Amino acid sequence: MTEQRHRPATRTDPYDEAGTAPARPALRVVHQPDDIDLTAAEAAAGQFLNALGISTASESLHGTPGRMARAYAELFSPRPFDLTTFPNDEGYDELVLARRIPVRSVCEHHLLPFVGTAHVGYLPGARILGLSKLARVVEHFACRPQVQERLTKQVADWLQTQLEPKGVGVVIEAEHSCMTLRGVQATGSSTMTSTLLGLLRSDARSRSEFLALTGAAS
């Protein structure tokens, strides 16, 4: 479950002190998963390993079920953050792009990790976004069982809704261990997905610039 709520900003813009415009409250973004029961998860992990013929009786494996439970709980629990935005006073209308944002998630089909990088950009409207928040949004949607296609679209759609920019683009390139470590064992292969919204989809020049800067056009 994703909970979003506005709360008073911890600091105000200079414009607020001058009395010309009120500060927009920061949006507190929290992903609250269903109740986590680490004790039950540890017991289930032990049963899972034993069912596969892996004994946890040895000293080195005795604590493995607990470590498994805590590791997956961490993978599925993104950190809360404040979506801070600022007025676009200068009317900046060119592309803002954060490249090579680390991505780590878990494939919902095999519960095996996939890792890679995300390129997230937007064409500003009335407000601009704190740059670190682009990485926070990626983490927010990646920390749960996922498929890469959905993750790409969730990041783009959410930014379009919350920021109301003129356009949003998201490109993710990742290596899936469900492909490289099992099954076809396609070592070194990667998967690329993209979502383009607004002018980054409809305007050829903006689209080409974004794809060229992310490397997706090469």
Among 21-35, 61-75, 177-191, the range scoring the smallest mean pLDDT is 21-35
Question: What does the pLDDT read at residue 49?
Answer: 97
* Predicted TM-score (pTM) of this structure: 0.85
CA distance 170 to 132: 15
Residue 30 confidence (pLDDT) = 80
Q: Position 49: which residue type?
A: L
Least confident of 10-19, 80-89, 104-113, 178-187: 10-19
Q: How far apart are CA 3 and CA 142, in angstroms?
A: 16
Residue identified by tokens 């919350």 is: 162
Name which residue leads in pLDDT, 199 or 18: 199
Share of the chain above pLDDT 90, in %: 73
Note the pLDDT of residue 22: 56
pLDDT digits (tens, 9 = 90+) for 123-168: 999 999 999 999 999 999 999 999 999 999 999 999 999 999 999 9
Judge whether residue 10 has pLDDT over 70: no
Model pLDDT, residue 218 = 62
- Distance CA(187)–CA(193), nearest Å, equals 19
pLDDT digits (tens, 9 = 90+) for 50-89: 999 999 999 999 999 999 999 999 999 998 989 989 999 9
What are the residue numbers of the active site? 107-110, 148, 176, 178
DSSP the chain: -EEEEEE--SS--HHHHHTSSPPPPEEEEEE-PSPP-HHHHHHHHHHHHHHTT----STTTTTHHHHHHHHHHHHT-PPPEEE-EEE-TT---S-EEEEEEEEEEEETTT--EEEEEEEEEEE--SEEE-THHHHHHHHHHHSSEE-HHHHHHHHHHHHHHHH--SEEEEEEEEEEHHHHSSTT--TT--EEEEEEEEHHHH-HHHHHHHHHHHTTT-
Mean pLDDT for 42-56 is 97
